[in-house]
């Protein structure tokens, strides 16, 4: 009976809010999208830029054939071990992440998590993270938004990988100014002391989840705290990343 009610509830919800594409925001109809993914139109998937070819060995940005690292990683000493993403950011993905973050489109998390899983399942099984941690939001900010977008992606990914997700180990202890227009060095300074551990970590390999990688300063700030508290390897995974230089 419960199942039946749940099913009917689902049908009603779908009639009122038909599942929409994570890229264009329009109803999916009977478009099942590309193989292995859902929540995106086939035509909209062709507007995305999945990262492939030679990628930076540290941040995962697309780089030239003869390069090992991108320009940023060549010039920066990162604290995290390695990070990777799925899509190079473009206007379509920017819009998608904006709606996900600021217009309550929580359901997009499913498409993002599946995208990460399909693109990196072999690497993730190889790296063997023991725990997934979403980049924490400042608590008051999360209360206003109603959710932490990175936690939604981590929850989906954790389920695909069969790895636990913890949202209460690492916390954002300090409210920081928006980092959007700041350089890596400025970000590093602003983020100093921004994160802290609330309870013992208890694992050595952590995968930190976020929606977009910009300079890596946020991931570094988290990695620093995690490594000071017993983590030996801190990896990062993101839905999107900027273009390589």
Contact between residue 20 and residue 109 where contact means Cβ atoms under 8 Å apart: no
Residue 217 lies near Zn ion (rule: CB under 5 A): no
Contact between residue 195 and residue 223 where contact means Cβ atoms under 8 Å apart: no
Residue 78 lies near Zn ion (rule: CB under 5 A): no
Stated as kind and residue range, the H or E segment containing 171 is strand 170-172
Residue 44 lies near Zn ion (rule: CB under 5 A): yes
Instruction: Give the nearer residue to Zn ion in terms of CB position, either 73 or 231.
Output: 73
State the nearest-atom distance from the C-beta of 74 to Zn ion, in Å. 8
State the nearest-atom distance from the C-beta of 41 to Zn ion, in Å. 3
Q: What are phi and psi for residue 29, nearest 5 degrees?
A: 60, -135
Q: Which of 37, 51, 56, 231 binds Zn ion (CB under 5 A)?
A: 56
Chain positions 8 to 27 lying near Zn ion, rule: CB under 5 A, are 21, 23-24
Q: Which of 37, 51, 55, 70 binds Zn ion (CB under 5 A)?
A: 70
How many other CB atoms sit within 10 Å of the CB of residue 118? 15
State the nearest-atom distance from the C-beta of 72 to Zn ion, in Å. 5
Residue 197 lies near Zn ion (rule: CB under 5 A): no
Residue 240 lies near Zn ion (rule: CB under 5 A): no
Q: Which of 55, 58, 131, 153 binds Zn ion (CB under 5 A)?
A: 58
Residue 234 lies near Zn ion (rule: CB under 5 A): no
Residue nearest to Zn ion (CB): 21
Q: Which of 33, 41, 84, 101 binds Zn ion (CB under 5 A)?
A: 41
Q: What does the DSSP assignment read for 85-112?
A: -SEE--HHHHHHHHHHHHS--TTHHHHH
Contact between residue 40 and residue 34 where contact means Cβ atoms under 8 Å apart: yes
Size of the site for Zn ion (CB under 5 A): 11
Q: Which two tokens stand for residue 78?
A: 């990162």
110 alpha carbon, distance to own chain's centre: 11
Q: What does the DSSP assignment read for 215-228?
A: SSHHHHHHHHHHHH
Give the total residue count for the chain: 245
Contact between residue 56 and residue 70 where contact means Cβ atoms under 8 Å apart: yes
The residues binding Zn ion (CB under 5 A) are 21, 23-24, 41, 44, 56, 58-59, 61, 70, 73
């Amino acid at each position: 009976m419960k199942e039946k009610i749940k099913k009917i509830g689902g049908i009603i919800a779908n009639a009122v809010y038909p599942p929409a594409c994570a890229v264009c925001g329009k109803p999916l109809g009977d478009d099942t999208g590309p193989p292995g993914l859902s929540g995106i139109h086939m035509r909209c998937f062709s507007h995305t830029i999945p990262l492939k070819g030679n990628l930076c060995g540290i941040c995962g940005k697309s780089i030239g054939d003869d390069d090992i690292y991108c320009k940023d990683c060549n010039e920066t000493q990162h604290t995290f071990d390695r990070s990777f993403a799925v899509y190079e950011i473009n206007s379509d993905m920017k819009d998608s992440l904006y709606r996900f973050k600021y217009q309550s489109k929580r359901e997009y998390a499913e498409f993002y998590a599946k995208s990460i899983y399909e693109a990196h399942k072999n690497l993730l099984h190889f790296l063997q993270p023991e725990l997934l941690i979403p980049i924490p939001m400042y608590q008051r900010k999360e209360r206003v938004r109603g959710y932490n977008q990175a936690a939604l992606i981590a929850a989906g990914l954790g389920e695909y990988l069969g790895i636990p997700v913890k949202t209460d180990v690492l916390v954002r202890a300090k409210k920081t100014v928006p980092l959007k227009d700041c350089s890596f060095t400025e970000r590093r300074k602003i983020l100093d002391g921004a994160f802290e551990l609330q309870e013992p970590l208890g694992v050595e390999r952590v995968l930190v989840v976020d929606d977009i990688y910009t300079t890596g300063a946020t991931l570094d700030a988290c990695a620093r705290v995690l490594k000071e508290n017993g983590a030996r390897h801190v990896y990062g995974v993101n839905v999107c990343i900027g273009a390589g230089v």
